[in-house]
Structure 1
Amino acid sequence: MYQPGLAQSMLATQAYFDNVTRDIIDEVDDNLSVKFELIYTMGSQESVDFAPERWLIIQQVLELLPQFAIQIQKHLPEAIDIQTFGEGKFPRVRLLRKNAADQLLKSLAEYIVDRGLPGLPTRSQPDAMRVAILRYITLPELDIEDINAVEKSNFWSNLTKFPLLLVRGLIAGGVLRFTLR
């Protein structure tokens, strides 16, 4: 029997949980172990696309985060929480407000475009191309001109396509924003 009031209440509860909770994976060491990263649906064993570069680029991006987080904390101390765990350990960074997340991702993207990453040689590009790349990796919604400025350029190649799409996913796609909240 359909009960509209009950359905609305359940949807409101789900929306509440979506906004204020996090998913926790038990036994994460087993579930996310490298040995489970290969997929054997049919045929012979194959590596995951763009491996191991995908993990190296993600690691390089994550290594940049603390320096920008510390700068933002100086200007917006109530908007970001940083807990350090000692020398050589990655600090826990939590973005408590949207303006801190926006500034962190903007600073990170500008740094990547200005300096480049291994596999993503943005530093050597002309200024107009670097502006186009910055828009490409920071804007979630691109118009056709923004897409073509990057994907139809000489910069777009089999060597740069995957790193660029990965960085776009981390920044414009919201992966970093979600994981740091």
Structure 2
Amino acid sequence: MAVIDPVVGLYRPATGKIIFKGKSITGHKTEQVVRQGISLVPEKRELFSTLSVLDNLMLGAFHRYRISKPGLRNDVQEILEIFPALKGRESDQAGSLSGGLQQMLAIGRGLMSRPALLMLDEPSIGLAPLVVREIMSILVQLKKTGVTIVLVEQNTKSALKVADSVMVMERGGITHSGNSEEIIADSSIHEAYLGRARVN
């Protein structure tokens, strides 16, 4: 989604600045942004389909490969603990995995950079409801580890169950903002995004 692309350096914003940890990262290259602690799990996952699950995970830590190579296997094991469905699939090609497993792998690859800020762009796209529920549950657990998560998601019901703070965007502008309880209580949100008016 274009709203988060400038943050990770995919293009330079036309106006304004992007401030992260008190410093401007406006116009920085993507690899510089990753080194500063920001990771993006892109829409449609963008995995290297012909590479193995393990190789995809290792690529998430490419920027620290030389310095931290001995410890990367431990990092992989931590990711497999978060996503146990990937255990035993390390040698499988990423492209052979189901959509749900691919999304887990994409998130795992993002976590391999050890980000302070993890951004996810439409992680529920094309996934079955049960898989979406599982992934959202994992995001709730990840929040408890201290990782800040920015979730860009059109599946409003799922997003509201995960989010602490919410901003609703329409046509490039923010139309509503608040904590999740305030947004859930807003009848206009229910009418526009949940498909029904809220009944008190």
**Is the TM value for this pair above 0.5?**
no
Q: If the length of structure 1 is used for normalisation, what is the TM-score? A: 0.25
Q: Please identify the structure whose Cα radius of gyration is greater.
A: 1
TM normalised by structure 2 equals: 0.23
